[in-house]
Amino acid sequence: MPRTREELLSLGVVDPALAAELVKHPIRNPQPSDPYYGRNDYSAHREHRATKLRELHHLRYLPGPIPDQVVEEDHKIPVRDGAEITVRIYRPSHVAAPAAVAQSRPLIVMYHEGGWAMGDLTDEEVNCRLFCRDLGAVCVNVDYRLAPEFPFPTWINDSWDALQWAAKNATSLGADPSAGFIIGGGSAGGNIAAVLAHVARDEGLSPPLTGQYLCVPAITCFRRPELLPERYRDEYLSHPGVTRSGDQATDPVLNDLEKAEEGMRALLKPPLRAVPVRRALPRGHRDLPAAYLQVCGLDPLRDEGLIYERILREEADVRTRLDLYPGLGHYFWTNFPRLDASRRFVEDTTQGVKWLLEQQKKT
């Protein structure tokens, strides 16, 4: 059933625990002591984000390296333009020889967040470690190239080339894709995963994908409700400047999405076309693998995620699972890791990907 305006706006009421945390631990702005302080460029933003992430790894549920349980190894792999990118492989530590096919170890390929212009392997390393330790998976964490140095479609091409490499080399990595072959990512990485689910289907990736993990995904990318199917436009309220008039609180992380969009448009040469909701798809969204989505109530990306889940489930008969976090914002679990909800989010993530693996067993 369609979600009502009242229901959607109720999701955008700030969670009291988040409000209290914002008072005690506001999002850290660059400090004069930072070596990149005063620089207004993408490199400075990248360094600031990396500093923030390093501050979080003291929490037990955001583990650092766990060599007694997970073995990590970097590889350089070729991509189509002759360059190389880095992928980090995570294996359960008791897999002594990667060439010996592990006992039904699924393969999971992850793509990081960062608006296609920031981020690196550290953004998905916690998930990869947890999926490896708790689900027995072999994980491939992809360091695709970033804008503005490498504008669209570089990140899609790199990500697709890495996915094909993982599929081709699954056995030598110690994985068994017949036990599950999942792609995933958060925000921009969720967009990449959603796009590649279509590409893999249309290009006949072998072995085929069995699941997609879409964490707070960027689906439509820009506020263009006229490009959504008409039946869903009344449910597109979360994006600033579309249909909301101050009814929803501002996301503490994505608090200037219009400015971010302006910057993104400058990075897209040619303009972005590979967006799953609005892209012309002869086969629509049918025959895609099962999808697990996480969506946050304060997130400007909220309603495109909710709409996409409905499209997959109701129109394409794709099995879906949705975890919704009312009153919480984009990437709240890393920006406000002390919240009880942040711990639950991390636990939900592992359980959601476990659900994806269980769907494979039902086919």
Three-state secondary-structure class, residue 77: strand
Catalytic, 187? Answer yes
Distance, in Å, from the CA atom of 217 to the CA atom of 322, rounded to the nearest integer, reads 12
Residues 6+ apart with CB under 8 A from 203: none
Is the backbone peptide bond immediately before 30 cis, with ω within 30 degrees of 0?
A: no
Catalytic pick from 123, 158, 330, 342?
330
Query: In the 8-state DSSP scheme, what is residue 14?
Result: P
Three-state secondary-structure class, residue 189: helix
Is residue 291 within 8 Å of 320, Cβ to Cβ?
yes
Look at strands 320-325 and 290-296 and give their pairing: parallel
Distance, in Å, from the CA atom of 213 to the CA atom of 320, rounded to the nearest integer, reads 10
Distance, in Å, from the CA atom of 242 to the CA atom of 331, rounded to the nearest integer, reads 22
Catalytic pick from 187, 198, 238, 303?
187
| 349: Cα separation from own chain's centroid | 11
Q: How many of the other CB atoms lie within 10 Å of CB of 227? A: 13
Residues 6+ apart with CB under 8 A from 36: 30, 43, 44, 47, 48
Distance, in Å, from the CA atom of 187 to the CA atom of 280, rounded to the nearest integer, reads 22
Catalytic pick from 120, 299, 303, 342?
299
Distance, in Å, from the CA atom of 48 to the CA atom of 357, rounded to the nearest integer, reads 35
| 85: Cα separation from own chain's centroid | 19
Distance, in Å, from the CA atom of 140 to the CA atom of 107, rounded to the nearest integer, reads 8
Block residue for tokens 């392997």: 121
The phi, psi pair for 129, rounded to 5°, reads -65, -40
Catalytic, 299? Answer yes
- Work out the angle at residue 187's Cα, subtended by the Cα atoms of residues 309 and 45, and round it to the nearest 5 degrees: 165
Dihedral angle over CA of 116, 218, 192, 151, nearest 10:
-30
Active site residues: 187, 299, 330
